[in-house]
């Protein structure tokens, strides 16, 4: 398996990339790397190519020495650009199927091996209960963190768990914020109830979790003004592909109030251009939501799809602009786009105020309430099942309306004094 084998394997990789719909530019970049690798193998007179040869080539090209091709690397784009073609060439050389979209670094499973059976059964039960995919992933992380703690402390299983072990776990997590701790407590309670029902943990243990007090909505969102939103949109470079994407994403949330999860999972098939509507299944609630596709939002999305969106088989409307051009992995990666442009626009936020993409949703809700939009309409736009949810979340931020509800202090005091006199 020398130079000739590398070149023939490179052609297999190119064919796989083309079949997967990769762009001509992506294929060209892969060809450059694979050609350099063939020259590298020929220059050293190597009769065989193994992983070590690939690692030597990677180190020569990037200056980064890895222990294996699957080692995680953060923030090293040069390493990623060289390693991906190498991995596919190695697959072809070994006679394995070449999958253009396969992960180079296997996803990390934080759950200790001896507890994975129980964890997997728990996740199966969560799906059977109708939990959304994002909810199952969140429960997976919480259960895995707890089981990893038990593994580190040498607990043989869950049968001997008590208050002491539970308190120790939360002490170990004390660096987390109150909201995160409260959420973790709820998630852990769900897991312990399942473990108890399965006979793996003591009954009633979930009810003995240490209290984690969190006042819902204790962090208020930054209430964007229309001028601030215009300033942010104005600084976005709409001549660039990423600028077209960011402009369309921010405008969509500001005008329609979509949750970040729904923005990330918005698919091309959700857009009805004839009816001018967006119809989705909400990622958080599983309920259907249909919104009008406003003209400015529609044209921004069209501009992105036609002139900015990478050539990809991913069905999502908004995708990452680096290989493999798939959906955004986390909500923070989307919110980060707003923060970047807000900083360029000179928008300053009050400390303690939430200023992520979700705050645009809050600003829209408050603006609608302030414009006397009927509460059922506001709830329908936001995708809430009840107006109670809308009022609990957003009516408290409509300070103008709340001022009309405020009592005059002197009136209250006078009423109290009058009551004392007549008493």
Task: Examine the pLDDT at 165 and tell me if it is beyond 90.
Answer: no
Which DSSP state fits 221? B
18-32, 35-49, 323-337: least confidently modelled range: 323-337
Mean pLDDT of the 311-321 span: 85
Structural tokens at position 262: 């729904």
d(CA 212, CA 227): 39
Q: What is the mean pLDDT of residues 1-28?
A: 86
Average pLDDT over the chain reads 80
Buried b (16+ CB within 10 A) or exposed e, 196-227: beeebbeeebbeebeebebeeeeeebbbbeee
Query: What was the pLDDT predicted at 214?
Result: 47
In the prediction, which pLDDT does 379 show? Answer: 73
**Model confidence pLDDT, tens digit, residues 99-157:** 887 777 766 778 888 999 999 999 999 989 888 777 888 899 999 999 999 999 988 88
For 182, the 3-state DSSP assignment is helix
Cβ-count burial 126-161 (b if 16+ within 10 Å, e if not): beeeebbeebbebbbebbbbbbebbeeeeeeebeeb
Q: What is the predicted pLDDT for the residue at 401?
A: 46
- The set of residues, in sequence order, having a beta carbon less than 8 Å from that of 69 and lying 6+ positions away, is 51, 54, 55, 58, 83, 86, 87, 90, 104
Percent over 90 (pLDDT), the chain:
17
Mean pLDDT, rounded, for 1-19: 86
CB-facing half-sphere around the CA of 271: CA atoms within 13 A: 20
CA distance 394 to 280: 23
Measured CA to CA, the distance from residue 142 to residue 225 in angstroms comes to 37
Q: What is the CATH number of domain 226-402?
A: 1.10.443.10
Q: What is the DSSP string of 131-163?
A: --HHHHHHHHHHHHHHHHHHHHTT---STT--H
CATH of 113-208, one of 3.40.140, 1.10.150, 1.25.40, 1.10.3470: 1.10.150
For the chain, the distance separating the N- and C-terminal CA atoms, rounded to the nearest angstrom, is 103
Q: For residue 67, which of 48, 54, 81 has the smallest C-alpha distance?
A: 54
Q: Per-residue confidence at 265, pLDDT binned at 50, 70, 90?
A: confident
Contact call for residues 338 and 250 (beta carbons, < 8 A): yes
pLDDT at residue 221, rounded to an integer:
67
Has residue 85 got a pLDDT over 50? yes
| 1-5, 194-198, 315-319, 350-354: least confidently modelled range | 350-354
Cα separation, 303 vs 246, in Å, equals 12
For residue range 371-419, what is the model confidence (pLDDT) as tens digits? 667 777 777 777 676 666 555 555 555 545 444 444 444 554 555 555 5
Question: Using one digit for the tens of pLDDT, what is the confidence trace for 33-78?
Answer: 999 999 999 888 887 888 899 999 998 998 888 888 888 776 677 8
Mean pLDDT, range 287-309, rounded to an integer: 88
Higher pLDDT, 12 or 23: 12
Cα(118)–Cα(124) distance, rounded to whole angstroms? Answer: 10
Residue 379 or 314, more confident: 314
Asked if the model's pLDDT at residue 293 lies above 90, the reply is: no
Instruction: Determine the Cα–Cα distance for residues 246 and 226; give it in Å rounded to an integer.
Output: 18
């Amino acid at each position: 398996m020398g130079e000739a084998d590398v070149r023939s394997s490179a052609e297999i990789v190119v064919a796989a990339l083309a079949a997967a719909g990769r762009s001509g530019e992506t294929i060209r970049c892969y060809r450059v790397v694979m050609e350099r690798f063939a020259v590298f193998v020929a220059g050293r007179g190597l009769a065989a190519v193994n992983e070590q040869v690939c690692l030597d080539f990677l180190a020569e090209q990037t200056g980064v020495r890895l222990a294996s091709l699957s080692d995680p690397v953060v923030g090293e784009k040069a390493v990623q650009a060289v390693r991906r073609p190498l991995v596919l060439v190695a697959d072809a050389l070994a006679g394995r199927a070449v999958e253009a979209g396969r992960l180079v670094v296997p996803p990390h499973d934080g759950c200790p091996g001896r507890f994975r059976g129980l964890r997997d059964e728990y996740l199966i039960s969560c799906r059977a209960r109708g939990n959304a995919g994002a909810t199952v992933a969140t429960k997976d992380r919480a259960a895995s963190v707890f089981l990893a703690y038990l593994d580190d402390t040498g607990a043989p299983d869950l049968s001997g768990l008590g208050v002491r072990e539970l308190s120790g776990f939360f002490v170990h997590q004390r660096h987390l914020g109150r909201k995160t701790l409260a959420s973790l407590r709820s998630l852990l309670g769900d897991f312990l109830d399942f473990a108890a029902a399965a006979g793996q943990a003591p009954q009633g243990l979930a009810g003995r979790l240490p209290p984690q007090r969190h006042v819902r909505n204790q962090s208020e969102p930054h209430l964007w003004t229309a001028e601030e939103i215009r300033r942010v949109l104005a600084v976005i470079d709409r001549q660039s592909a990423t600028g077209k994407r960011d402009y369309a994403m921010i405008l969509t949330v500001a005008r329609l109030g979509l949750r970040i999860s729904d923005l990330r999972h918005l698919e091309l098939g959700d857009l009805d251009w004839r009816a001018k509507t967006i119809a989705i299944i909400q990622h958080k609630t599983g309920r259907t939501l249909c919104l009008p596709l406003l003209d400015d939002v529609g044209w921004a999305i069209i501009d992105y799809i036609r002139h900015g969106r990478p050539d990809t088989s991913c069905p999502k409307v908004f995708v990452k602009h680096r290989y493999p051009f798939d959906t955004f992995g986390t909500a923070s990666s989307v919110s980060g786009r707003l923060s970047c442009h807000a900083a360029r626009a000179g928008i300053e936020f009050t400390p303690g105020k939430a200023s992520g993409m979700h705050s645009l949703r809050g600003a829209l809700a408050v603006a609608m309430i302030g414009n006397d939009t009927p509460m059922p309409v506001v709830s329908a736009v936001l995708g809430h099942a009840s107006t109670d949810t809308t009022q609990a979340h957003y009516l408290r931020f409509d300070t103008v309306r709340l001022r009309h509800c405020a009592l005059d202090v002197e009136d209250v005091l006078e009423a109290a004094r009058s009551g004392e006199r007549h008493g």
